A and B are shown apart, each in its own frame.
Chain A
Amino acid sequence: NAGVMQNPRHLVRRRGQEARLRCSPMKGHSHVYWYRQLPEEGLKFMVYLQKENIIDESGMPKERFSAEFPKEGPSILRIQQVVRGDSAAYFCASSRGTSGLQETQYFGPGTRLLVL
């Protein structure tokens, strides 16, 4: 059973370009969470999605950031018109979604975004 997959593992973008980060949850998992880790800082919650629904996006910046988790395919975190301050490690986690609030989240390896 493959773990949570994220790609790309490293992404370099110039200011103003778009960044697309992909997350494939573990098999059988229907809940996906995105977290951001800025350099020398702790992890911060961004968004929580279930298939085709955004459940909680209270940690997402209001502009330029969006997330989706379509019925088919991976979850996508999209950052438009990237700026240097977007440089960070972006982690995805997934959970099964059947045990309510007592579930373990399994983390992917992260995507390290560098904006030049």
Chain B
Amino acid sequence: KNEVEQSPQNLTAQEGEFITINCSYSVGISALHWLQQHPGGGIVSLFMLSSGKKKHGRLIATINIQEKHSSLHITASHPRDSAVYICAVRWKNTDKLIFGTGTRLQVFP
């Protein structure tokens, strides 16, 4: 079993739909990251969370430390949101990131 599990693995949506991607982890962490990897392969850091909720534009990320769970929400999805979304956790007291296998999102017009 991986320390970081994401669901779903693949997700298709129509433009405008509300999207949720889930991440569960089994280790003690100091922070959780959400990353976006575009078809060309580049990686962009979307959020870093250690508690609560963060919002940036149409993206919202939440984390529940007690339940070891985080969600990434995309409101009013758009085809340009099509990418792989990766959850990564930073083990407590280390700088090492452990990554989930990613959720491949395709948004159709």
Contacts and interface: CB of A to CB of B under 8 A. Distances in A.
B57 interface: no
Interface size class of B (residues with CB under 8 A): 20 to 34
A48 interface: yes
B96 A104 contact: no
A22 interface: no
A91 interface: yes
A73 B4 CA distance: 35
Contacts of B31: 101-102
Contact of B95 (A44, A55, A106, A110): A55
Interface of B: 30-31, 33, 35, 41-45, 48, 50, 86, 88, 90, 93-102
Interface string A86-116: 0001010000000001111111011010000
Interface string A34-62: 01000001111100100000011011000
Task: Give the 4 A-B residue pairs with the shortest CB-CB distance, closest first.
Answer: A107-B43, A43-B99, A42-B101, A101-B30
Residue from A41, A42, A89, A112 whose CB has the most chain B CB atoms within 10 Å: A42
Contacts of A104: 33, 45, 48
B44 A107 contact: yes
A33 interface: yes
10 contacts: A33-B97, A48-B95, A101-B31, A101-B93, A105-B45, A105-B97, A106-B45, A107-B35, A107-B42, A112-B41
